Copies of this chain bind each other. A is one copy, B any other.
Amino acid sequence: MSNKEVQGFTIFFTGLSGSGKSTTSELLEAKLERSLHRPVTVLDGDEVRTHLSAELGFSKEGRDTNIRRIGYVASLITKHGGIAICAPIAPYAETRREVRDMVEQYGGFVEVHMATSLEECERRDVKGLYAKARAGEIEHFTGISDPYEEPENPELRIETEGMTPEQSCEMVVATLQKLGFC
Contacts and interface: CB of A to CB of B under 8 A. Distances in A.
Contact of A51 (B69, B80, B83): B69
A173 B4 CA distance: 31
A55 B53 CA distance: 10
Interface stretch (A18-26, A71-79, A118-126, A137-145): A71-79
Across the A-B interface, the 4 shortest Cβ-Cβ residue pairs: A80-B82, A51-B72, A80-B80, A39-B79
How many copies of this kind of chain does the complex include? 2
A131 interface: no
Contacts of A51: 68-69, 72
Residue among A8, A54, A79 having the largest count of chain B Cβ atoms under 10 Å:
A79
Given A81-B82, A82-B81, A82-B82, A52 B72 contact: yes
